[in-house]
Amino acid sequence: MHLYDYAKSLVLEAGNHLRQWMTETLDIETKSNPNDLVTNVDKAVEQFLVDQITSTYPQHQIIGEEGHGHDVTALEGVTWVIDPIDGTLNFVHQSANFAISVGVFKDGKPYAGFVYDVMADTLYHAKAGFGAYKNEQLLEPIEDTNLAQSIVGMNANWLAGKKISPVLTPIIQDSRSARAYGSAALEIVHVATGQLAAYITPRLQPWDFAGGMIILNEVGGIATNFIGKPLEITHPDSVIVANKAVHETILNDYMMPNYDFLAPWHKNYKQ
């Protein structure tokens, strides 16, 4: 089976398992803080994906949220970047609005991206250079908008007394409105489908953006960090994903005037 078709079927199969496992008792643990949750289902889904990939493609590398491949720095060959449940808080509290996110890279370059909205049974997927799809529907290129008439995705926690809030608050004030969905992968595909004009976050792990970024690229969206650098899958970063016009506005009018503040912030991400 072709690698793209294999990855697509694997993500769907993982979603089927996830729906079954979520009916069982959840074991919930905290990670970096009380709101950073992981469940036995997160771990089971990741282990399922890892076992299937390694048995089929033992030479492939895997970077997974729940502990696999965090020391990967060289990207020769094929690398899978997987988040078994992006939006674990939503999974625990809502039993909805979460996704399986998978990005596949060849020699560090995007090959295929998958974001599976499990409870909606909606798979967003793309092979680099061949367009992006919502299930079997080809996605149209996203249209440019202006910020004043745009909805922006941003977690309100970043605006509440955070050091970065003076940079971010004016963007929200100058937009039409803001939304927070609680799953970075879903918010990125909402940009790819035009439901959001942009999604902005000061810190995001590679497994959160890897799959969605590839889908976004295929519809003409732009993904960079706050100082305009490309996103890399070997370290966390700040993220702006947007249609081209709104991305240019956010970067040039709000981020670059704060470059002296933001540049040292970003150096810390690679340590």
Question: Which CATH number covers residue 231?
Answer: 3.40.190.80
Question: Residue 97: which pLDDT band, with cuts at 50, 70 and 90?
Answer: very high
Question: Residue 26: which pLDDT band, with cuts at 50, 70 and 90?
Answer: low
Whether 55 and 95 map to the same domain: the answer is: yes
- Residue 148: its pLDDT value, please? 97
Residues 117/187, Cβ–Cβ less than 8 Å: no
Question: Residue 271: which pLDDT band, with cuts at 50, 70 and 90?
Answer: very low
Final residue of a structural domain among 117, 138, 159: 138
- How are the residues of the chain apportioned to helix, strand and coil, as percentages rounded to the nearest 5? 40, 25, 35
Residues 192/113, Cβ–Cβ less than 8 Å: no
> Residue 10, exposed/middle/buried by CB under 10 A (0-12, 13-18, 19+)?
buried
At 152, phi and psi to the nearest 5? -115, 135
Whether 124 and 157 map to the same domain: the answer is: no
237 is in an annotated binding site: no
Whether 11 and 99 map to the same domain: the answer is: yes
Residues 218/126, Cβ–Cβ less than 8 Å: yes
Number of structural domains in the chain? 2
Check pLDDT > 50 for residue 238.
yes
d(CA 159, CA 261): 17
Considering 33-37, 75-79, 169-173, the range whose residues carry the highest mean pLDDT is 169-173
- Residue 20: its pLDDT value, please? 87
Whether 21 and 113 map to the same domain: the answer is: yes
- Residue 40: its pLDDT value, please? 75
- Tokens representing 131 are 């367009």
- Tokens representing 193 are 């489908």
Beta-strand relationship, 78-86 and 61-64 = parallel
pLDDT, tens digit, for every residue of 181-231? 999 999 999 999 999 999 999 999 999 999 999 999 999 999 999 999 999
- Residue 89: its pLDDT value, please? 81
Final residue of a structural domain among 138, 171, 187: 138
At 21, phi and psi to the nearest 5? -70, -30
d(CA 51, CA 68): 11
151 is in an annotated binding site: no
Residues 84/118, Cβ–Cβ less than 8 Å: no
Check pLDDT > 50 for residue 10.
yes
Whether 130 and 155 map to the same domain: the answer is: no
Check pLDDT > 90 for residue 31.
no
71 is in an annotated binding site: no
Amino acid at 78: V
Question: Residue 42: which pLDDT band, with cuts at 50, 70 and 90?
Answer: confident
Could you tell me the CA-to-CA distances from 34 to 30, 85, 96, 147 in Å, in that order?
6, 17, 20, 34
- Mean pLDDT across 112-129: 97
Check pLDDT > 60 for residue 88.
yes
Whether 68 and 134 map to the same domain: the answer is: yes
Range of the domain at 122: 3-138
- Residue 265: its pLDDT value, please? 76
Whether 169 and 254 map to the same domain: the answer is: yes
Whether 162 and 249 map to the same domain: the answer is: yes
- Residue 121: its pLDDT value, please? 97
DSSP three-state, residue 57 = coil
Nearest C-alpha neighbor of 194 from the set 143, 134, 251: 143
86 is in an annotated binding site: yes
Whether 7 and 48 map to the same domain: the answer is: yes
Final residue of a structural domain among 138, 167, 186: 138
Check pLDDT > 60 for residue 34.
no
Whether 123 and 223 map to the same domain: the answer is: no
Check pLDDT > 70 for residue 92.
yes
Q: Domain containing 34 — which CATH number?
A: 3.30.540.10
**pTM for the predicted model, two decimal places:** 0.92
Whether 133 and 15 map to the same domain: the answer is: yes
| Secondary structure letter of residue 11 according to DSSP | H
Could you tell me the CA-to-CA distances from 44 to 81, 107, 108 in Å, in that order?
16, 28, 27
Whether 191 and 104 map to the same domain: the answer is: no
Check pLDDT > 80 for residue 18.
yes
Q: What percent of the chain has pLDDT over 70?
A: 90
